[in-house]
Structure formats: structure tokens, C-alpha cells
Amino acid sequence: MEAWYMDESADDQRKPHRLQPNLPVTLKELEQFGVFSWKLDADKYEDDPELQKIRKERNYSWTDIIKIQKDTLPNYEEKIRSFFQEHIHLDDEIRYILDGSGYFDIRDKDDKWIRIAMMKGDMITLPAGIYHRFTLDENNYAKVMRLFVGEPVWTPYYRPADEFEARKKYVHFLNQVL
Ligand code: KMT
Ligand code: NI
């Protein structure tokens, strides 16, 4: 997994949008935003002790798998658009890339976009209340496992969503660590 600060160009969202020169963000820096990640062997996700351990420890009881690609995902264009609209959730967003690739973008404490490049085998958790968005990259394909603690709620709250308790809690967390 690799992350970097984004440029401000309005060009295609599926392009990397690196600054020139590149300004990398380390996994440790991401952890300060409450973003945690793992590298797993996606070829054995159906019977992977490492995945089972993470799920057990963090109570990720619920999973499904979605393929984000034009011909198999219903309402593809609309979903691509809504994934890329800046939003929060009231719960953690936990995703594991089983095949293909894509970008999660998160805001840093100064409201700058950080782009997180997710490849096959990358698993990530974004904390409740963090402003973020998702896009496919130029490969136009991702097979993604979605995980959740209990019964899933996928509702996005588009920015501005500052009045939500989850958002206030997240801002409080950021102010304590940074
Ligand atoms: C979200 O809420 O940002 C998403 O679920 C999109 C990315 S993974 C399907
Ligand atoms: Ni989301």
C-alpha cells in the first residue's frame, strides 16, 4: 500500500494525481489519522488464518464481496459517482481488495487530500467520521470484500456532516493525537 498528497487538478479521478515532486505519506502517518491497514494473501481469503484472526479480534462478523466493474455492478455509473462524493459514515469502513485496485482518498488535518493506493491483498479500516471518498483507478476493476461489525449500515453522509456525533468524536480524536 502506498499513499501520497494529491494535486489539485480537475483531471480524471482515476489518474494518480501525485504532486510534482511526489509527497509520500507513510503508513505510520496514516495511523495518526486512525487509518489502519494490513497486507494479506488475497489468493487464500476463503481460508486464511490471518484474516480470521483480524476478524475475530475486531469483531468483523459480517462480510460480503462486490465487484466494481461496468458490466456486473448494477447502477455502475451512479455508484462510481456517489463513492467519489466526499462523505462520512457513522461506523468504520473496512475494505479488503481481493483483486484489481482502487484509491481511497482521505482528508488530513488541514483538509488536504491524501490518496491511498490499494492493490490486491491490501486491507484497510477508515474510522467513523473521517471525510473520505473512493474511486477505481485506470484498471477499472476491483473485487472488494466489505466487512462490518454486526448488521451493516452503508449510509454515506455527504459533506458537510459536521453535526454528527461520529464526526465530532473523530475531530476530537484528531486534536488529541496531532
Ligand atoms: C464507501 O462507502 O466509500 C464505499 O463503500 C466505496 C468503496 S468500496 C465498495
Ligand atoms: Ni465510504
Query: Could you give all domains of the chain from N- to C-terminal order, each with its CATH number?
Result: 34-177 (2.60.120.10)
Cβ(112)–Cβ(5) below 8 Å = yes
Cα 142 to Cα 100: distance, rounded to the nearest angstrom: 4
CA 87 / ligand 2 centre spacing (Å): 6
Residue 177 in this model has a pLDDT that exceeds 90: no
What b/e string do you get for 53-88 counting C-beta neighbours within 10 Å, with b at 16 or more? ebbeeeebeeeeeeebeeeeeeeeeeebeebbebbb
pLDDT above 90: percentage of residues in the chain: 99
pLDDT band at residue 116 using 50, 70 and 90 as cut-offs: very high
Ligand 1 pocket, residue 134 CB under 6 Å: yes
Q: Which residues, 6+ apart, have CB-to-CB distance to 37 below 8 Å?
A: 1, 27, 30, 122, 123, 124, 125
Q: Confidence band (pLDDT; 50, 70, 90) for 23? A: very high
Give the residue-averaged pLDDT of 51-74. Answer: 97
Q: Is the C-beta atom of 142 inside 6 A of ligand 1? A: no
Average pLDDT, the chain: 97
Closest C-alpha among 57, 60, 64 to residue 92: 60
Asked if 83 and 73 count as a contact pair (C-beta separation under 8 A), the reply is no
- The predicted model gives 16-22 an average pLDDT of 98
For 135-162, the pLDDT digits (tens) are 999 999 999 999 999 999 999 999 999 9
Q: What is the mean pLDDT of residues 20-36?
A: 97
Kindly state the average pLDDT of the residues 15-44: 98
Q: What are the residues whose beta carbons fall under 8 Å from the beta carbon of 28, sequence distance 6 or more?
A: none
**Residues 65, 145: contact at Cβ < 8 Å?**
yes
User: What pTM was computed for the model?
Assistant: 0.97
Whether 19 has a pLDDT exceeding 80, the answer reads yes
Surrounding residues of ion ligand 2, Cβ less than 5 A: 93
Given the CA of residue 89, which atom of ligand 1 is nearest to it?
2
At residue 107, the pLDDT reads 98
* Model confidence at 178: pLDDT above 80: no
